[in-house]
Amino acid sequence: MRASSLATAAASLLVLVILLIYPKDVSRGAAPNVRPPSVAGTFYPADPTQLGGMLDGFLAQAAPAPVEDLVAIVSPHAGYVYSGPVAAWSYALLKGRKVDRVVVIAPSHYEAFEFSSVFDGDAYSTPLGRLSVDRQFAAKLAHMDPSIRLSARGHTPAGERSEHALEVQLPFLQRTLGDVPIVPIVMGDQSYENCRALGVALAKLIHGTHTLIVASSDLSHYHKYEQAVEIDHKTLTAIGEWDYLSMSRNFDLRVWEACGGGPIIATMMAAERLGATGARLLHYANSGDTAGDKSRVVGYGAVALFRGAAGSDTRETAFSLTQSEKDELMGIARRSVETAVGGHRVYDAPVPTSEALTHERGAFVTLHLHGGLRGCIGYVAPIKPLYLTVRDVAREAALHDSRFSPVSAAELPGLDYEISVLSPMRRVLDPKEIQVGRDGLLIRRGPVEGLLLPQVPVELNWNRDTFLEQVCYKAMLPSGTWKDPAADLFRFTALVFGEKKVVAVLPETTALLSDPPPDIPEPSAVRSR
């Protein structure tokens, strides 16, 4: 008995030593770190049979057109009774596909932190079972950029609340792809820079593999039905136009809404670098359609991102205005300047009858005096109806272009006006695609930006190389920054019309307004020329 007791004590001591040396090593017998379901029974059924039946019913009703070279999907994340019928349209595309892993990117609703949190555990669990985390992929991703970290932040419950945006995607994955490895990511900071860092890192790791990305996001929140539809389709149109720069600006300014806007943008950035250029809206609805109450609704969109542009619903189309519409905008610009300079008031522009002038568009107004530049300011993103954008930026060009003193009343009769209405922004994939005379350029590196309108290189007789150098100078960056992998170069076109031919252009080197007035959003009001 004594020998047996000694043997037992020795064995216990050995186990204790092993646990002290390897306290968290799953491979040596420690319990796996599994994130349990936290919204089962509230957002979706906790009973596996009931949950499976609900998912099968949603998927049976979804009928998306086939997408051959799928790279990513966007799916909503509300309670299934509200968003499940829409989410099914994205997940119905996954049946029968070969997928090595799924990267799921979700926002953090309840916990604030400054990085993208890649789950540091072993698995996520739902009533349908466990989905293992691809820990090797997760570890590599977390080493790609300081803004990406292995962490439990955003994944485990914070106080009395637990993040649902990632979890609710998983039963759909299990029902369509089975036991697929996942890489769960929660974004605590949805800034453009963090989205870019995550998107670029994912593209590098995903290249050459069968990896799908899921962006988890609802759209507008708690508006009346008609207003929600209007707001949501602005976001969905921008996805189709692949204008994630304007999306980022407008989400920051809260003129467009998507709680998972950052995950959508990061997914688009990754997908673009993986060769995707097509976006298709599969299905749209809001909680007024699915649950009945249309007084305060939440919007939901199912979107597919894929290689090739065939089948894209919302690709950029040519923008045009009639001569009478151009004349009306010119009149608004002139009256806005005259009212601001002569009366120190904001011009109360009447709502135009033309639908084209009430659509939101980025635009610049350029003022000339005796052939020389007298001011040029604009909105890059489509944050207001076109006629109000022209009204506002005309006033700012006259009063707040810091290169000049404010326009005086004596100068008003001699001013010439030029308006440039901008297309959506598309990142330049190959500098050879830039055409002098057609394209304007915007360069962004970190928070620094510079923009030149399409007419500038023509007026100054620049070739493409000079144009690229000058847009860097415009942002106060070295001339070769456009080649820098950390910089993004965007191109756009513009519908340009005015009163007289420009005979001189004043070069400039600064980018953003240094002290914009309170009603001008700083990220979107910029000087050009």
Per residue in 33-42, pLDDT (tens digit) is 999 999 999 9
H/E stretch holding 467 reads helix 464-474
Query: Is the pLDDT higher at 456 or at 315?
Result: 456
Identity at 92, one-letter amino acid code: A
Alpha-carbon span 459 to 496, nearest angstrom: 13
Question: Using 50, 70 and 90 to split pLDDT, how confident is the model at 501?
Answer: very low
In eight-state DSSP terms, residue 246 is H
Cα 60 to Cα 4, 86, 381, 383, distances in angstroms: 63, 12, 39, 39
Going along 224-296, which residue ranges are E strands? 276-286
| Res 156: pLDDT | 87
Burial pattern 23-41, b for ≥16 Cβ within 10 A else e, equals eeeeeeeeeeeebebbbbe
Question: Using 50, 70 and 90 to split pLDDT, how confident is the model at 526?
Answer: low
Q: Which of 266, 278, 269, 274 lies closest to 208, judged by CA?
A: 274
Question: Using 50, 70 and 90 to split pLDDT, how confident is the model at 161?
Answer: confident
pLDDT at 79 over 60: yes
Q: Which of 426, 427, 446 lies closest to 195, judged by CA?
A: 446
pLDDT at 505 over 50: no
Place of tokens 């466990």: 130
| Res 17: pLDDT | 36
pLDDT at 241 over 90: yes
Range 441-452 average pLDDT: 96
Do domains 70-219+240-307 and 323-527 share one topology? The answer is no
pTM, two decimals, is 0.88
Q: Residue 273's CB: how many other CB atoms inside 10 A?
A: 17
Question: Using 50, 70 and 90 to split pLDDT, how confident is the model at 16?
Answer: very low
pLDDT at 14 over 90: no
pLDDT at 511 over 80: no
| Res 400: pLDDT | 95
pLDDT at 5 over 70: no
Q: Which of 292, 119, 140, 121 lies closest to 207, judged by CA?
A: 140
| Res 314: pLDDT | 41
| Res 29: pLDDT | 60
Query: 182-187 and 101-107 as β-strands: parallel, antiparallel, unpaired?
Result: parallel
pLDDT at 7 over 60: no
Return the CATH superfamily for domain 70-219+240-307.
Answer: LigB-like (3.40.830.10)
Q: Which of 493, 527, 492, 488 lies closest to 509, judged by CA?
A: 527
Place of tokens 């000694």: 6
Question: Using 50, 70 and 90 to split pLDDT, how confident is the model at 510?
Answer: very low
Range 250-267 average pLDDT: 96
Q: How far is CA 227 from the centre of its chain?
A: 21
pLDDT at 229 over 90: yes
Question: Is 421 in a helix, a strand, or coil?
Answer: strand
Q: Which of 415, 306, 316 lies closest to 367, judged by CA?
A: 415
| Res 386: pLDDT | 97
Range 92-110 average pLDDT: 96
| Res 520: pLDDT | 38
Answer whether 367's CB lies under 8 Å from 416's CB.
Answer: yes
In eight-state DSSP terms, residue 110 is S
Structurally, at CATH architecture level, domain 323-527 sits in 2-Layer Sandwich (3.30)
Tell me the domain boundaries of the chain: 70-219+240-307, 323-527
Percent of the chain with pLDDT over 90: 82
Residues 6+ apart with CB under 8 A from 105: 116, 185, 186, 187, 198, 213, 214, 215, 216, 260, 263, 266, 267
| Residue pLDDT, tens place only, 377-424 | 999 999 999 999 999 999 999 999 999 999 999 999 999 999 999 999
